[in-house]
Amino acid sequence: MPFTHLGLSDPLLRGVLASGYTTPTEIQCEAIPAALTGQDIIGCAQTGTGKTAAFVLPILSRIFRDEPVPGQKRAIRSLILTPTRELAVQIERCIVNYGRYVGVRSLAIYGGVEIRKQLETLRRGVDIVVATPGRLMDHMRRGSIDFKAVEVLVLDEADRMFDMGFIDDVYRIIRTLPEQRQTLLFSATMPPEVRQLAAGVQKNPQTIQIGRQHNPIETITQHVHAVLRQQKIDLLLHMLQNRPMQSVLVFSRTKHGADKIHRKLEQAGIVSVALHSGRSQAQRQHALDGFKKGKYQVMVATDIAARGIDVRGISHVVNFDVPLYARDYIHRIGRTGRAFHEGDAITLVAPDEQEYLRKIEQFIGQRFRPEEYEGFTSAHLTESLSRSEEQTRSQRLAARARKAARRPRLTRRRSRLAAAR
């Protein structure tokens, strides 16, 4: 189905085509017509399936349909809440690109930058605000933002709102909005807390589920390489120097680790950049822009980037550290294989990370077979991995035995207490 069949106006279609898109994704085909009717929507689809356009285009259509009175100050008609600064910038850019022929005014509100410019733009009037919860709360405390005219609320990456501890602020913000509004909630996964959020803020929403929520999209090929921890950087360098890897996103668990990997890559002559919360907003934006333009072959990032970047053409995602939480694995590797393109996700697993890999396998319902990588997988490593798995199994059995041994004593103690009563 082409975009022309989704009910969008001609100026919007021109903006979409000018942005380089001709065929909508499945989530866009399902969500856009429903959102155009004004209905509340729960959209659940894997990372990289085009959820941003699924809510941006209906919002732009509504604003174009009901243009503001000439000369009258524009009021905020749509509020989009998102968990990270990078994602707020990405969404605002999509609004500008798709809405280039609509005459929309938008503003991204996030921390880490001077608030004065945001205040000036708000005073002039905007149609759409894209905001992170923390900085938006700052504006609310200042009294610099007015939600009386809000018609559409979007909660983007709702599961990440919980992961990052923003949900209390999200509820505070929602309580200040008009009750009569359209609420669109989008998420890559739907844990119970997100379903509870939806039940509390939406009215008879239509649920749109694309694919299995725990599965990566089919355009991603997943690889797992068993490697000793001290060999990880050597394996990463070997891959970068011997494989055609054009645009590579490497995930580290910590800021210190990201900086260390970045330094090693630079020393080896590989042009790279680091992105994490220890960098200023200007540094983070510079890193992201440079990576998008191909200035850097590799960007080394912490999980702050897992939900915050939408870069076309990322050929490989490398999990230098296995993520502690299985859900983060989905969001990390979802940075590649986007918009019908194919991509590779590579996970480097040290013996002490086997536990986290097992959790990922359970989460996505898929068993990985670690692949040998020439010159790195050896007999002593295989033995080490086997010992690690056996040790983990022994620890579980020992814990069960201790628990079973305590149970009779606890039972006898409860019996004595009952008799004493």
Q: How far is CA 307 from CA 83, 140, 157, 343, in A?
A: 8, 25, 8, 17
Question: For each of the chain's 421 residues, which pLDDT tens digit applies?
Answer: 678 889 898 999 999 999 888 889 899 999 999 999 999 999 998 777 789 999 999 999 998 887 665 667 789 999 999 998 889 999 999 999 999 999 899 999 999 888 999 999 999 999 999 999 999 999 999 999 999 999 999 999 998 888 888 899 999 999 999 999 999 999 888 888 999 999 999 999 999 998 765 667 778 899 999 888 999 999 999 999 888 898 999 999 999 999 999 999 999 999 999 998 888 878 888 998 899 899 999 999 998 765 656 777 899 999 999 998 888 898 888 888 876 678 999 999 999 999 999 999 988 888 998 887 776 554 344 444 455 455 555 666 666 777 666 655 555 555 554 454 4
Q: Are strands 152-155 and 78-81 parallel, antiparallel or unpaired?
A: parallel
372: left (phi over 0), alpha (psi -120 to 50) or beta: beta
Per-residue buried b or exposed e for 234-262, using 16+ beta carbons within 10 Å of the residue's own CB = ebbbebbeeeebebbbbbbbebebbbbbb
Of 392, 383, 332, 390, the C-alpha closest to 228 is 383
The CA-to-CA distance between both ends of the chain, in Å, stands at 73
Domains of the chain, by residue range, sit at 3-210, 220-377
Architecture of domain 220-377 in CATH? Answer: 3-Layer(aba) Sandwich (3.40)
Q: Whole-model pTM above 0.75?
A: no
For the four alpha carbons of 111, 113, 119 and 124, in that order, the dihedral sign comes to: negative
**Superfamily of structural domain 3-210:** P-loop containing nucleotide triphosphate hydrolases (3.40.50.300)
